Structure 1
Amino acid sequence: MIKYLSEYLTSTFLKKRIKNIEFFMRYPIEIQNQLMNQLILYAKNTEFGKKYGFCDIKKYQQFSERIPICKYSDLEYTIKKIRRGEKNILWPGKIKWFAKSSGTTNTKSKYIPVTNISMNECHYKAGKDMLSIYIHNHPKTKIFLGKAVRLGGSHELYKNYNTFYGDLSSILIQNTPFWAENICIPKKKIALMSEWETKLEKIVKETGHKDVRILLGVCSWLLIFLKKLLKKFNKKKINEIWSNIEVIFHGGVSLQPYIIQYNNLFEKSINYYNIYSASEGFFAIQDQKNVEDLLLLLNHGIFYEFIPLEDIKKNNPKIISIKNVELNKNYALVISTNSGLWRYIVGDTVKFTNLSPYRILISGRTTHYINSFGEELIIENAEKALNFTCLKTNSIIHEYTAGPFYMGEKNSGAHEWIIEFKKLPQDLNIFSKILDKELKSLNSDYEIKRYKNIILNPPIIHVARKGLFYDWLKKNKKLGGQNKIPRLSNDRKYIDSILKIE
């Protein structure tokens, strides 16, 4: 009885949140302007607020003219001071939690401040909205009668001062509100373990006999977990273990490279809902069934601005508010947040698929692309081309990365790919030709550079041994949590690093 009452109260509460979502969908510009003013009001007496005259900023033009855009390197010294316990610098009061960004292997870690208000008014609020949307789209759902498996990272104490750092997921698990903790497994003691492989074994053991209906996590790591679960219980399909499994909420990396593997794990259809959450904030949620684009969250403590991708390397790039964005154009994301990030360049690129309401696709990273020859290949191009090629060649990709093969005196350049297949194509040469042709159709710059092999030769493809990418992540202490394979790089550091352990 208590279980059903809990389900009723939780689902009733979440259904009410749909009205809040519909409100910011209806009045997006007004909501964003109001939010900008609220952020300024909160922080006007901080060091940063006094420096840039927050007390008399009233309009967006003043906001954009006074406050410079910044990257993490511009804030690194300031954040070190905040981690040492200094107060009222970027945001009022003392900040206790810092999300250590996963970054990519060999990349210096970032420590993103996470305030109490950002946890409650951004991350947890977005989590409630995620569930609200799901209930709205699936009114007969029974997900609250079972458990949700969360696959997160770990955290550790920053020992010199009374502040904590770790994966964002671990910070959120540590501070999970009661309404969520009631249905989530594993419990915190296991969920926050640092050693990934040991933790994975314990999660399999704890969750295998429970009535699991929801999965939450990065889809690449969830896939490893599910395969381990099947092996442990000697089953072929996940439904044989969890008969009521219903939905996977996933983020961090694209589902496209893994979707065939996921579908093979389930004997009946399952719902996939994509989320766009990062160390800096929870930005967007898939609000419709079976679509790729995501609803941008406009009332969750984040004020958005956008830099056209072609301007990102300029000294004075064009920066616009959401009011002036255009459809199907790539933008670098700039945010001001209730964690004290001001006009911060996140590093992600998005494009708008709809302007009423505002829906986006994550198109790539400002640093993860290949443009060594002027081809401007972004992750969105790569994911679509690989997915198409796999369908045409009846193959399945497990992991991949790509980078430039540089021109020599007597040869053109090329793109070099390392691909770990779950199912190999019958003919790798045909796979390469289809991939090349599809990249040309998706990217006119790539097509031009491939003309008669003058600048770019056909793709070079290495078939990776089984487990290569996992071993590479393990070697670099990047297992679990929000860590991910760098898909595209404009230099050879990842390609060469992986090939060394091949």
Structure 2
Amino acid sequence: MGLINSILTWVMKKRIHQMELFMKYPHEVQDELFKKLIYSARYTEFGLQYDFSSIQTYEQFRERVPVHTYEKIFPFIERLMRGEQNILWPTEIKWFSKSSGTTNARSKFIPVSQEALEDCHFKGGKDLISIYVNNYPDTTLFDGKGLAVGGSHQLNDFDPSASSYYGDVSAVIMQNLPQWAQFIRTPSLETALMGNWEEKIEKLARETARDNVTNIAGVPTWTILLIQKIVELEGKNNILEVWPNLEAFFHGAVSFTPYRNLFKSLIPSDRMRYWEIYNASEGFFGIQDQRDSEEMLLMLDYGIFYEFIPVSELDNENPRAVPLGEVQLNTNYAMLISTNAGLWRYSIGDTIKFTSLAPYRIRISGRTKHFINAFGEELIVENADAAIARACDQTGAIIENFTAAPIYLDHGKKGGHEWLIEFKVKPSSLEQFTYILDKTLREINSDYDAKRTHDLALIEPRVHCVEEGTFYNWMKNRGKLGGQNKVPRLSNSREYVEDILKMMAEVER
């Protein structure tokens, strides 16, 4: 183990004791943070509008400040983007993270304060390494470099003074990293922040193939494309022939379950470790803290105050949120955040379940708008990922991507679900794959099962095996290559499925 690796490993492990404090006193940490946020923003325009100065308790905050979707808070953000300040947060906002906007055709711009960078995003990155090192004290992570597959940024063209920027959250973070962090990462900042994804992946591949890469951080979809490109350019059988010391992939943004087998085929090593994180444009929320686990520790001291709305109440006119101390195990919650960048009671669109209350550990279960409930089946992304994974395991398939949508009732015909799946390795039998997919969904989702019983409301799923490259080309057509962009897994409308089918038909002609 090298000297630098030994020093950095020791430094990173010191943070564990601070984490143990919020694990032991979670409610006290969140209560103190809540008061600090309210106090800091009391003289902002938002704080004056809701009289933050007189808020003494969480109950007052909940009653006084409404839940905000992006559409509701956008008028404030738009003014920030045009150069106004002290609107949502007292310190200057110079950066905005541009969301992929998968729940909306319009991109979303999330304010990023200096406090959010330092106390949330950077802290999350350091804590990820601290937790990993604590689990694997013999790691040689720092003997090589970390590869970050990120997005790009640009000048904010909404601001006449041209003094602010927006871009993928990964690009915002990389541009602002301290020098010591730049030293242990690859590729060069110039390459990492390139805008044209197709040119970028070629240059990424050529530049990083010569480095001693020990770890990768990124979205599974785009990381796979990069690994495949490097293997192709280098004429190798797998990536370990290029990076023999590769030991960890830190992944987030989409469920890793459907991609696990594909990664194992590209990285054939029992030593390879896959570590999940929960970060987004709005903040850094969770980190896997145990080996061989699918749970993440909810990070409670990142300048984020959490609330949770039971998904069963989302259709109510005034759904009631609960604080951390009132959550229950295995209940599907929509997550609300109030942050040190000025998001107040903001619904990020994700749904989570608590798997532990001491400490608070979570699993991402889906999106508030990414589900299929056309017939009362309440199919969520978590269900889809589990069923796809089992069908792959039992038929020898490996997938690249998928999406699904309802088949609506028509002229006496029963409804169903239509799946478009791109396979890296096709199943031994598509009919068997479909059967296992359907059977698994029935086992893990009682609402789906009830509608499928005797084909009562749903017939067996219709599964299309689409050509390799279909989803890449579709995302390219939408201007959604690279960065934090991801294929929407489920939709309650047929918008995405019809768009892909139309594209496929045009190619065939």
TM-score range, shorter chain: over 0.9
Separation in 2 of the partners of 1:112 and 1:205?
Answer: 33
TM-score w.r.t. the length of structure 2 is: 0.97
Partner of 1:404: helix, strand, or coil?
A: strand
Separation in 2 of the partners of 1:219 and 1:402?
Answer: 19
1:89-488 alignment runs, 5 A limit: 89-104=87-102, 107-159=105-157, 160=160, 161-269=162-270, 270-488=272-490
Separation in 2 of the partners of 1:423 and 1:335?
Answer: 40
Separation in 1 of the partners of 2:55 and 2:320?
Answer: 21
The answer to whether the Cα contact below 8 Å between 1:85 and 1:94 also exists between their aligned partners in 2 is no
* Residue segments in structure 2 that go unaligned for 5+ positions in a row: 505-509
Amino acid in structure 1 at the alignment position of 2:291:
K
Superposed displacement of residue 5, structure 1: 4.5
Superposed displacement of residue 463, structure 1: 1.0
Superposed displacement of residue 454, structure 1: 2.2
Separation in 2 of the partners of 1:290 and 1:179?
Answer: 30
Amino acid in structure 2 at the alignment position of 1:349:
T
Superposed displacement of residue 4, structure 1: 4.4
Distance 1:64 1:105, change over 3 A: closer
Amino acid in structure 2 at the alignment position of 1:200:
I
After TM superposition, the structure 1 stretch with the greater mean CA deviation from structure 2, 204-213 or 54-63, is: 54-63
The answer to whether the Cα contact below 8 Å between 2:103 and 2:369 also exists between their aligned partners in 1 is no
Aligned to 1:495: 497
Aligned to 1:22: 20
Amino acid in structure 2 at the alignment position of 1:167:
D
Q: Give a deviation string over 1:270-316, Cα, whole Å, max 9, x none.
A: 00000000000000000001110100000001000000001112111
* Residue segments in structure 1 that go unaligned for 5+ positions in a row: none
Partner of 2:399: helix, strand, or coil?
A: strand
Separation in 1 of the partners of 2:459 and 2:3?
Answer: 64
Partner of 1:501: helix, strand, or coil?
A: helix
RMSD value, Cα: 1.2
The count of corresponding residues between Structure 1 and Structure 2 is 500
Superposed displacement of residue 191, structure 1: 0.6
Amino acid in structure 1 at the alignment position of 2:486:
K
Amino acid in structure 2 at the alignment position of 1:224:
L
Separation in 2 of the partners of 1:136 and 1:439?
Answer: 37
Separation in 1 of the partners of 2:136 and 2:315?
Answer: 44
Distance 1:247 1:25, change over 3 A: same
Separation in 2 of the partners of 1:302 and 1:105?
Answer: 23
Separation in 1 of the partners of 2:147 and 2:428?
Answer: 37
Separation in 2 of the partners of 1:205 and 1:84?
Answer: 39
Amino acid in structure 1 at the alignment position of 2:102:
T
The answer to whether the Cα contact below 8 Å between 1:374 and 1:445 also exists between their aligned partners in 2 is yes
Aligned to 1:56: 54
Q: Give a deviation string over 1:244-266, Cα, whole Å, max 9, x none.
A: 11111011111111111111112
The answer to whether the Cα contact below 8 Å between 1:105 and 1:473 also exists between their aligned partners in 2 is no
**Percent identity at matched positions?**
48
Q: Give a deviation string over 1:378-430, Cα, whole Å, max 9, x none.
A: 00000001111111111111110000100012210000000111111222122
Q: Give a deviation string over 1:164-189, Cα, whole Å, max 9, x none.
A: 11100000011011231110111111
TM-score w.r.t. the length of structure 1 is: 0.98
The answer to whether the Cα contact below 8 Å between 2:91 and 2:113 also exists between their aligned partners in 1 is no
Amino acid in structure 1 at the alignment position of 2:235:
N
